[in-house]
Structure 1
Amino acid sequence: MLERLRRRRGQEGFTLIELLVVVIIIGLLAAIAIPAFLGQRNKANDAAAKSLVRNGATTMEAYFTDGNTYAGADATKLAAIEPNIVWSAANMDAGANEVKFTITGTGTGYTLESKSKSSTIFKYEKLANSTVQRTCGTGCTW
């Protein structure tokens, strides 16, 4: 029996308890990291939608400088100014680079909307008195 224990002293390796502790630590780290990663992903999707709407507002202002009105702005004319945005009167999927636009009044204002992959709708309105309103869903910020 003593001979058997002496032979075992030279063996190296991990015990089952040590392996279980390592697995538990890795599990805890994963439980902390995965929700943080998913939160950052939603923030990135929201930032993409905001960026689309801001670029859309810049495009609308460029269109305004040519004719001193927003009237007559359509998807073709806006795409000539900013071809990276898919201009639509109905769809607003930021994942597909879509921005929904509406000309308000008699060409004195406009509304732009885009929906992020996290289902938050970002809305940019330029009113007739040149006031800008930015809105989005609950719990989000511009």
Structure 2
Amino acid sequence: MNMVSRALARRQKGEKGFTLVELLVVVIIIGILAAVSVPIYLNQRKSAWNSNAEQDVKNAQIAVENWMVENNGTLPETSGSDEWKCDGDKKGGLASDSEGSDKLVVTCSPGVIVVVRPAETPAGETVYTSYTIRGWHKQGTKTYYYDSVNSSALQSTDGINKKPF
């Protein structure tokens, strides 16, 4: 208490400024706030990336369903590969197959990859009537799936799964 009374006495004499103890307390408080807020901020960024990927997979589902409605319930034929891949960092975020054909218009946000894969058909048939979608953000922590045959809801798993279905 003696220290406080001396500090108050100096203030009454007209001394201005902060004591070393006051400055140290402020620095410690700022350090504690930074230690608490930085991890929260980083987790929010991961959540935003995951949400971006989830939304792009939902949008791809809508785009594929719209294509199928307009084309008698079938998907377009792929040229050269059996899937359309949308990389948000390339080609303006439009999906295309390995030959560059972009018949199916699916767009992706920057950093997001969405893969639309027609389901297997009987040997010799090229008419696709069902599909699966997989998507993830390059810096995210989840992979999102949709299967038009086995599930009506979007599924997610922890981790990035780039392997085919």
Structure 1 unmatched ranges of 5 or more: 86-93
1:122, 1:34 → 2: CA distance?
27
What TM-score do the two structures reach when normalised by structure 1?
Answer: 0.73
State the partner residue of 1:124: 146
What TM-score do the two structures reach when normalised by structure 2?
Answer: 0.64
Matching residue within 103, 126, 132 for 1:77: 103
2:110, 2:142 → 1: CA distance?
12
State the partner residue of 2:133: 112
Structure 2 counterpart of 1:113, one-letter code: R
Does the Cα contact within 8 Å between 1:70 and 1:103 map onto a contact in 2?
no
Matched, 1:38 2:59: no
Residues 133 and 70 of structure 1: is their aligned pair in 2 closer, same or farther, counting only changes over 3 Å? Answer: farther
2:18, 2:69 → 1: CA distance?
73
Does the Cα contact within 8 Å between 2:53 and 2:113 map onto a contact in 1?
no
SS at match of 1:22: helix
Residues 43 and 96 of structure 1: is their aligned pair in 2 closer, same or farther, counting only changes over 3 Å? Answer: closer
Residue deviations 1:18-75, cap 9 Å, x none? Answer: 1000000001111111111111111110110011101100000011112223342543
Deviation at 1:12, TM superposition (A): 1.0
The structure that is helix-richer by fraction is: 1
Q: How is 1:1-142 mapped onto 2 (pairs within 5 angstroms)?
A: 9-74=13-78, 75=96, 76-79=102-105, 82=106, 84-85=107-108, 95-106=110-121, 107-116=128-137, 117-127=139-149, 131-138=151-158
Identity %: 32
Deviation at 1:109, TM superposition (A): 1.3
Does the Cα contact within 8 Å between 2:136 and 2:142 map onto a contact in 1?
yes
1:119, 1:37 → 2: CA distance?
15
Question: Mean Cα displacement is larger for which, 20-29 or 8-17?
Answer: 8-17
Aligned CA-pair RMSD: 2.5
Residues 134 and 102 of structure 1: is their aligned pair in 2 closer, same or farther, counting only changes over 3 Å? Answer: same
1:59, 1:14 → 2: CA distance?
63
SS at match of 1:43: helix
